[in-house]
Structure 1
Amino acid sequence: MVQNSDEFRRRILSFPAIRPCESVSFPTLLASLINLSRSICSFKSKTFFTNKQNAANSIRLIEALLVFLEELRDDTWPSFEDSSTVSLCLSELHFIFQKLRFLLHDCARDDARLWMLLKSEEASSHFRLLLNSVAVALDVLPPPESDAEARELLELMRKQAAESNPEVRREDRRAKRRVLRITRRFGRGIAPEPADLRRVLEDLRIGSWGECGDEIKCLESEFGQECGTAEKRAVPFISSLIAFLVYCRCTIFSSIERRKNRPVLCETDDRSVKVLNPDDFRCPITMEIMSEPVTLSTGHTYDRSSILKWFSSGNHTCPVTGEKLMSVDLVPNLALKHLIIKKFQENRIQFDESRPSSMSVDAGSVAAEQAMALLANFLVRRLVVGTNEEQNKAAFEIRLLTKTSPFNRSCFVEADAIPSLLGLIRSTDQALQRNAIAALVNLSKHPRSKKIIVEDKGLEFVVEILNDGLTGEARQHAASALFYLSSVEDNRRKIGRAPGAIQGLIGVLRDGEDRGKKCALAAILGLLMHPENHWRVLAAGLVPLLANLLRSFENEDLVADSLTVLAALATRVDGAVAIVSAEILPITVQILNSSNSRSAREYSVSLLLSLCNNDATDVVPILVKNSSLMVSLYSLIADGSPRLSKKAASLIRILHAFNEKSSTSLDQEQFVRVW
């Protein structure tokens, strides 16, 4: 089968066929049709998990047609060259064969077995329609006058195509009923018997954790594409199938193995660990990306416009917890805003602070929700009473399930997973510690979890891993956990006062890999929202460390993150003095003049602005003397984003004001001397 980019973009059981153009020559059309037929015949060696007989009958028909077409090419095609009827017939067959190839590919996909089983009737209908179309096309095709054997073969193929009656096998119908029966049980909150799950997996010949994971990935792709449609009719159905497979993967298979580069227990589950994912950028009220995140006294973050509407409607409670607010003061969550802006810039999307981007809420079904609640209880029991290997697998599964789904996180919080995970992060087994702390990081994104972690002495445990974790990845995850915990104001104070917390973050920043450094910088940025922590990070030696790192950083993301932290420190006089003393000023100007990163340039300007406002005596005269700086600032006004242009303009005004003041003083001094 010819592989192309369209194959990977199309949905299952969609057939984006293209009719040959009318101007194509007869030899070219015939040669292309023969190649297409050979591609279809190559499926004979494939394994079909559903519609097996229908696929086999279709391939046999195309094999016979291939013989006919090759004879037509080798012996008699010149006699048909001027026949428009023959060309029209071959063109129609070409169009049908394209669709048939897509259909056979779908039926043979080893990562879409469950979906094709549930779509077996639809697939069978497609076989019936395509074979009937072949019969119609062959009826139009005039038989070769000079070749009796070819005429006989053509008549046989016509009859075979016309009499074909594709239908769903009894075994497929039975297996489909078993799956639907189990999903209905999920909908009633009843856990299925393991024997029933194994029987379905045997029907589909899914025999490993990796194969089950492949099926889930395929269904998630279908889920995402279905969510993009207007009707979204299949969304609940696909959601329940994903839940069925996830439940099987977690409860039936005892080991996790690599398959098609899927993650294994002892490895990280993503190549580039992100501090946040898009789900964390949503306002809990509108479920849209926040343009101006602000935090209430309860520690929960909302978009400013949506929480103000909540208050103006007469509500004086936290929308998430329902807790009555003693104060409605809104604290800007600058750390989160910085990360949202960075995410937009990474994806080359303009960040509009005046209007949040729309993002739909994840859809699901009752069966999927109940299945996840049952699975959460099952995995938490494994954490408590399982063997070391079972605990490790359970922690890994929780890590995967809570990575992107807020609903899954709520299920595991309700199932009381946090205390068990806190105990396991102190394990002497590297893989178990790593998976437990990673799962805990994901759960720490849930609103209730932050309070649970702190109350269960989790902060002490996390700081312990931050300093003495068995692997660099474990220490990195500990830094991420502190970032999420720091979204609550009281936690920022507690983390800052916790022995070894800030020193541990400095250690990860100094010795960790790039991903660990990013996590540490994000956590430090969050802690700086509490005033007490400014002097603590200064005393820990953060500024000289960042100065050294800026001189050696090749990763532009880390440069931008470092400048963001420095800009936050420079908002206070002691921070500005420390930054100037560490000789970071010339490095910042160099980055502004030479960096290709918009984030790095923006936070360079932010840092210079803060330094000018808090240490103007020493900084502004130095900047005024740098002629290249003005060139860079004016170019940012012309070519930068509105946000960056505004900052550049503010810095230019400060420098111009100093110049004018200096010029006036000099003129007055000259006037006095002359007089």
Structure 2
Amino acid sequence: MSNATTGSRKIFSLPAVTPSTSVNSVSLIHVLSLLADDVLALRGAAFPVHRKYAREALRQVVVIREFLADVVAEALPASAFVGLAELHVALQKLGHLLRDLARPGARLWVLVNSDRVSNNFRALFRSVATALEVLPLGAASPEVMELVQLVAEQAWKAEGGTLPSDALAARIVWSALALFENGIEPDLIDLNDLMEHLQIRSWSDCSEEIAFLEDLFFDCEENEAASIGSLEALMAYCRATLFDADDHNKRTGGNQFKALHRPVNHVNLDDLRCPISLELMLDPVTIATGQTYDRASISKWLKSGCLTCPVTGKKLTDTAFVSNYAVQHLVEQLCASKNLSFPEPNSKQKRDGSKTATPPSSAAAGAMKMAAAFLVRKLAFPTSLEQSRAAFEVRRLSKSNVFNRTCLVEAGAVPWLLHLSSSMDSSTQDNAMAALLNLSKHPSGARAIVEVGGLGLVVDVIRLTFKVEAQQNAVAILFYLSLVEEYRAAIGDLPEAIPLLVELMREGSYRGKKNAIVTIFGLSLCSSNRVKILESGAVPALMALLSGQEKGNLANDSMAVLAKIAEHPDGTAKILCYDGAISRLVEFFRSTGTSRSGRESCVSALLSLCVNGGAEVVELLRSMPVVMPPLYSLVTEGSPQAGKKARSLLNRIHEV
């Protein structure tokens, strides 16, 4: 079971520490008071499921807190420790359980685990009753004593079982999944009732549910995958069909949609830095105090034993945290506006995408196919706002789930998204291109783009676009298409494609340059594109990137393309025509900022230049002794292939 979204504690796990027998009554009463206060801090939380049990638990804790405030600790006999210790454990567990019920994103999961939750409540109520019965109530006032006795009596009588309203909502869930499994669309009125019961009233609420279930799915055992995946697909279907602009109950993704696309010029970059690492928050999460941190930083903080909020200093009684998608999107937008790269968070990179290649269940398959068909119908709507929202939903559903991409392509989303790529509405165009990028990563999606004549439309977006993000996504689409051998020549045959990519290498944003470089590399693998790449001025643009202000990955990627170009005599000639080309390559080769892969590409390029350029190039290298130490280093520390090329280059340099 996943604990990625719940801090260091798995949902529904109720760990508790029993106090040491050496603790005196005064200290124990104080600790119990703090525990009770922490639980009572949840009185303002929403409890969509198990409301009755949650209210009863809070009522019991209120009485316990009154007893703790009223009792004279010094007057308690030693025998009171047993009851106080039992209360210590019960209060910890009640706090955990109530926080699970109130946790954003976990509402559907709590609902379908109603029997487990109600059994936990029943067991904890009896623990409270047992503790209260053995406490020396005479140490409290008569009024409090009477109240405690009443609560203990009621706690014993508390019935278990799923509440009728929760059972009805759960039946809607199981009924909907059964209908999905049989290829039948569930009644939207029933799903609307389910959302109302769970108090899921916005696109953002629904997205939190999907994110929580997605985390569970990637961390779950194999026997749990089908049920969790089915629930995730159900929520995805609900988000696509219920949260619409025309919904008069304000169950709409409209406000969320606008919020995710609002201008970020007024946002201070420093406000989006993690208070711990002072780096941009790539994977922001919010903890119990309301403060937001980068997931990796706060996880490391908690694992080190620091159980306080780094900003407020407040003690954390619960180490749960939830993803903050609003902050994450602001970071993405701000990075794009400032031409900064935005790497994927490590937690997402480690996920096994192959787990989503096939549907976890037939119900999940049915739900996604129906959601895809619904969204494609919306893409055909005559209004730009509806089209843009549908494209945005396609974009989100296809972001990382392979089977979702399959469903959307098979439903016919690609032609409509290509049509929207030329929209005069910037948000519509942006969402369409981002969605197409996700679908282009799927073989059937790439094939659909090419077969319907979409290559020219994608290139048009590179040339004419409202947003730099749409342009960057268009280039990335060409990159994924260039991975397919049969599409490389077709891309190169478009007169503007390669010149536009070279222009982006010179003038584009960081992401634009990177996408253009790797796309040019893919296109260079096709012999018919080689001359076009050279004639478009690729070599000067690539050489400039080796020592420009934007070093690092851009320089390493540029070197890989130059190495490929240098393999052929015409490419060698173009490189040698660049003033100071060999010196530039040697400088890159010996730079401490050059990666191992960059050095290996560079030695490959230098060897090709020697082979194709002849003695003049070899003599020039021979006159540069600074190249020797990194060459010898590559012989001993590089990959077998790189070491072989380094030895070959050394042999040429040493030949008399």
TM over 0.5: yes
Report SS of the residue matched to 1:234: helix
Distance 2:430 2:501 in 1: 17
Distance 1:573 1:25 in 2: 87
Q: Would you say the 8 A contact 2:177–2:363 is kept in 1?
A: yes
1:253 corresponds to 2:251: no
* C-alpha distance in 2 between matches for 1:381 and 1:124: 42
Q: CA deviation at 1:402?
A: 1.7
Q: Which of the residues 103, 107, 115 maps onto 1:113?
A: 107
Does the CA contact (< 8 Å) of 2:176 and 2:186 recur in 1? yes
Structure 1 match to 2:155: 161
Structure 1 residues 545, 145: closer, same or farther in 2, change over 3 A? closer
The secondary structure found in structure 1 opposite 2:655 is helix
Contact 1:475–1:508 (Cα < 8 Å) also in 2: no
CA distance in 2, matches of 1:140, 1:620: 93
Tell me the alpha carbon deviations over residues 57-77 of structure 1, each in whole angstroms, 9 at most, x when there is no partner: 1111112112222344xx333
Q: Structure 1 residue aligned with 2:370, among 349, 370, 374? A: 374
CA shift, 1:190, in A, is 1.0
Q: How does 1:622-637 map to 2 (within 5 A)?
A: 622-635=620-633
Residue in 2 aligned with 1:595?
A: 593
Give the direction of change, closer, same or farther, for the CA distance of 1:434–1:347 in structure 2 (3 Å limit): closer
1:518 aligns with 2:508: no
Identical aligned pairs, as a percentage? 37
Q: For 2:10 and 2:134, locate their aligned partners in 1 and report how far apart those are by CA, in whole Å.
A: 32
Say whether 1:539 aligns with 2:535: yes
Question: C-alpha displacement at 1:32, in angstroms?
Answer: 2.5
Q: d(CA) in 1 for partners of 2:635 and 2:87?
A: 60
Equivalent-residue separation in structure 1 for 2:529 and 2:565 (angstroms): 10
CA 1:27/1:655 → structure 2, altered by over 3 Å: closer, same or farther? farther
Counterpart amino acid of residue 389 in structure 1: L
Aligned to 2:187, which of 161, 183, 193? 193
Q: Post-superposition shift, 1:97?
A: 1.9
Deviation at 1:160, TM superposition (A): 3.8
CA offset at residue 245 of structure 1? 1.6
Q: Does 1:31 align with 2:30?
A: yes
**Is the 1:265–1:431 contact (alpha carbons within 8 Å) kept by the matching residues of 2?**
no
Deviates more, 1:430-439 or 1:645-654: 645-654
Checking the alignment, whether the CA contact within 8 Å between 2:482 and 2:523 is kept in structure 1 is yes
Partner in structure 1 of residue 285 of structure 2 = none
User: What does residue range 152-551 of structure 1 map to in structure 2 within 5 Å?
Assistant: 155-226=149-220, 229=221, 232-255=222-245, 256-257=253-254, 263-264=260-261, 360=355, 362=357, 363-551=359-547
Structure 1 residues 213 and 603: CA distance shift in structure 2, 3 A: same
Task: Give the Cα–Cα distance (whole angstroms) in 2 for the partners of residues 25 and 113 of structure 1.
Answer: 40
SS of the residue aligned with 1:473? helix
Paired residues of 1:460 and 1:498 also in contact (CA < 8 A):
yes
587-596 or 175-184: bigger deviation: 587-596
**Maintained 8 Å contact 1:450/1:485:** yes
Residue pair 2:634, 2:646 contacting (<8 A) in 1 also:
no
Give the Cα–Cα distance (whole angstroms) in 2 for the partners of residues 64 and 259 of structure 1.
41
Q: How big is the shift at 1:259? A: 5.2
Question: Take 1:488 and 1:386, find their aligned partners in 2: how far apart are those partners?
Answer: 34
How far did residue 455 of structure 1 move?
2.8
Write the distance in 1 (CA, Å) between the matches of 2:629 and 2:75: 72
Q: 1:209 to 1:656 in 2, by over 3 A?
A: closer
Q: CA deviation at 1:635?
A: 4.9
Q: Which residue of 1 aligns with 2:123?
A: 129
> Distance in 1 between the 2:564 and 2:582 partners?
15
**Secondary structure of the structure 2 residue equivalent to 1:254:** coil
What's the offset of the Cα at 1:46?
A: 1.5
Range 592-601 or range 165-174, more displaced: 592-601
TM-aligned CA distance change 1:604 to 1:37, over 3 Å? farther
1:527 and 1:144, CA in 2 relative to 1: closer, same or farther beyond 3 A? Answer: same
Task: Verify the 8 A CA contact 2:111 2:170 in the aligned structure 1.
Answer: yes
Structure 2, unmatched stretches of 5+, are 246-252, 265-271, 273-341
Q: Which residue identity does 1:248 align to in structure 2?
A: C
TM-score w.r.t. length of structure 2: 0.78
d(CA) in 1 for partners of 2:520, 2:21: 66
How far did residue 633 of structure 1 move? 4.4
Give the secondary structure class of the aligned counterpart of 2:7. Answer: helix
1:59 alignment partner in structure 2: 58
Give the structure-1-normalised TM-score.
0.76
Distance 2:80 2:635 in 1: 66
How many Å separate the matches in 1 of 2:263 and 2:392? 9
Q: What letter matches 2:195 in structure 1?
A: L
Q: CA separation in 2, counterparts of 1:385 and 1:150?
A: 65
- Aligned-pair CA distance for 1:611: 3.6
Which residue is 1:574 aligned to?
A: 570
| CA pair 92-5 structure 1, distance change in 2 beyond 3 A | farther
Give how far 1:214 is off. 1.6
**Alignment CA distance shift 1:607-1:90 (3 Å):** farther
Q: 1:104 to 1:569 in 2, by over 3 A?
A: same
Q: Which amino acid aligns with 1:661?
A: E
Q: In the TM superposition, what is the alpha-carbon distance from 1:454 to its structure 2 partner?
A: 2.3
Paired position in structure 2 for 1:305: none
Whole-Å Cα distance in 2 between the matches of residues 524 and 21 of structure 1? 68
Q: 1:449/1:217 Cα in 2 relative to 1: closer, same or farther (>3 Å)?
A: closer
Instruction: Work out whether 1:585 is the aligned partner of 2:585.
Output: no
Q: Given the superposition, is the C-alpha separation of residues 146 and 391 from structure 1 closer, same or farther in structure 2, using an over 3 Å criterion?
A: closer
Q: Which 10-residue stretch deviates more, 50-59 or 451-460?
A: 451-460
Deviations 1:492-518 (A, max 9, x none): 112112110101111222222111222
State the shift of 1:156 in Å.
Answer: 4.3
Mapped contact 1:54–1:166 kept (Cα < 8 A):
no
Q: CA deviation at 1:113?
A: 2.1
Distance in 2 between residues matched to 1:507 and 1:241, nearest whole Å:
46
Q: Which amino acid aligns with 2:592?
A: S
Cα pair distance change 1:458/1:79, threshold 3 Å: closer
- CA distance in 1 between counterparts of 2:586 and 2:182 reads 63
Residue 166 of structure 1, CA deviation: 4.1
Distance in 2 between residues matched to 1:249 and 1:189, nearest whole Å: 19
Which shifted more, 505-514 or 163-172?
Answer: 163-172
Q: How many residues matched?
A: 566
Question: 1:441-461 CA distances to partner (integer Å, 9 max, x unpaired)?
Answer: 222222233333223221121
Alignment of 1:619-658 (within 5 A): 619-635=617-633, 644-646=638-640, 649-658=643-652
CA deviations 1:9-49 (Å, max 9, x no partner) are: 43322224344456656544443322111000111122211
Task: Look up the SS of the partner of 1:32 in the other structure.
Answer: helix
Question: Runs of 5+ in structure 1 lacking a partner?
Answer: 272-342, 352-356, 663-675
Contact 1:480 1:523 in 2 (8 A): yes
| 383 and 536 in structure 1: CA distance in 2 versus 1, 3 angstrom threshold | same
Classify 1:222/1:622 alpha carbon distance in 2 versus 1 (closer, same or farther; 3 Å). Answer: same
Q: Given residue 246 of structure 1, which amino acid in structure 2 is its aligned partner? A: A
**Alpha-carbon distance in structure 1 between the residues aligned to 2:152 and 2:543:** 79
What amino acid does structure 1 have at the position aligned with 2:31?
A: S
User: 1:542-600, CA deviations, whole angstroms, 9 ceiling, x for partnerless residues?
Assistant: 11112222222335222222122122212223223323432343344334432164444
Q: CA deviation at 1:372?
A: 1.4
Aligned partners of 1:26, 1:415: CA distance in 2, in Å?
68
In structure 2, the CA distance between the partners of 1:264 and 1:216, relative to structure 1 (3 Å rule), is farther
Deviation, structure 1 residue 625: 4.5
**SS at 1:595 equivalent:** coil
Larger radius of gyration: 1
